[in-house]
């Protein structure tokens, strides 16, 4: 319901703004301005009702206003590398320093909502025993000037969100977020998306171990800031 309230607030604000401007123009009219006399409608004719009340925007005006705002920019073009069909190899580690599990998946990425966002869907490859499915959205928020990622999967009932910046030199997007882990509490995480080429990209999801946990993990399992990868994937575009 939150998005409905937000949209309603935006539209109401715009309507009031344009309505107020129209009212102000009406007040500027001179008292002796004469309105043309209206002729009575022929008998049996149906009066056509306007799309909007006087001083308010109609649907066409609202659509035109919305079309002027929020157009995708040059930053969105970088995400085009995620569009298409990919074969993915995934390595997952449940705890720092433990041997990773290897799984295979197929990945489909497509532009949605006027090329504002990339929707990605991942499913197990044929014969894969680990039946993990996920849906994610990548985008660029022109208000904050940051890239973002929002994702859900079939392993639990919550969503995750992270945002950050793109480094042109390394062609890497680094996004930061925070997640509530059962039995641990809130843990910081980051998503590192590296666009190696138009046909290959890698993605790593890393958690930052709490101070109390760092002394219990094997030496070398964490970097100097306490980060460790729980998932690393390599996506290679399918050949046509």
> Which residue range(s) make up the domain with 219?
75-237
Does 65 share its domain with 115? no
Count of structural domains, the chain = 2
Residue 39: inside a domain: no
Token pair of 173 as six digits: 């997007």
Does 209 share its domain with 228? yes
Does 116 share its domain with 230? yes
Does 81 share its domain with 135? yes
Residue 42: inside a domain: no
Residue 32: inside a domain: no
| pTM greater than 0.75 (yes/no) | no
Q: Cα separation of 160 and 135, whole Å?
A: 11
Does 143 share its domain with 229? yes
Q: Cα separation of 76 and 90, whole Å?
A: 26
pLDDT single digits (tens) 196-233: 999 999 999 999 887 777 878 887 888 888 899 999 99
Does 87 share its domain with 16? no
- 118: CATH: 2.40.128.20
What count of other Cβ atoms lies within 10 Å of the Cβ of residue 89? 15
More confident residue, 66 or 145: 145
For residue 8, report the phi and psi dihedrals to the nearest 5 degrees: -60, -40
pLDDT single digits (tens) 87-131: 999 999 978 888 899 999 999 999 999 999 999 999 999 999 999
Q: Cα separation of 207 and 228, whole Å?
A: 6
Does 56 share its domain with 122? no
Contact, 153 vs 107, CB < 8 A?
A: no
């Amino acid at each position: 319901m939150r998005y409905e309230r937000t949209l309603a607030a935006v539209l109401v604000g715009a309507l009031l703004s344009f309505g107020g401007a129209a009212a102000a123009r009406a007040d500027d009219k001179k008292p002796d301005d004469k309105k043309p006399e209206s002729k009575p409608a022929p008998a049996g004719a149906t009066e056509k009702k306007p799309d909007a009340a006087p001083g308010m925007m109609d649907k066409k005006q609202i659509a035109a206003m919305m079309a002027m705002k929020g157009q995708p920019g040059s930053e969105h073009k970088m995400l085009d590398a995620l569009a298409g069909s990919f074969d993915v190899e995934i390595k997952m580690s449940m705890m720092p320093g433990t041997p990773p599990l290897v799984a295979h998946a197929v990945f489909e990425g497509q532009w949605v909502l006027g090329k504002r966002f990339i929707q990605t869907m991942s499913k197990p490859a044929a014969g894969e025993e680990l039946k993990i499915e996920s849906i994610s959205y990548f985008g660029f928020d022109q208000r904050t000037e940051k890239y973002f990622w929002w994702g859900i999967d079939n392993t639990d009932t919550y969503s995750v969100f992270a945002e950050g910046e793109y480094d042109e030199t390394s062609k890497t997007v680094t996004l930061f977020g925070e997640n509530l882990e059962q039995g641990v509490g809130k843990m910081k995480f980051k998503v590192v998306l590296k666009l190696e080429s138009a046909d290959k990209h890698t993605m790593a999801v890393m958690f930052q171990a709490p101070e109390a946990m760092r002394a219990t993990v094997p030496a070398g399992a964490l970097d100097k800031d306490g980060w460790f990868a729980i998932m690393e994937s390599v996506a290679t575009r399918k050949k046509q």
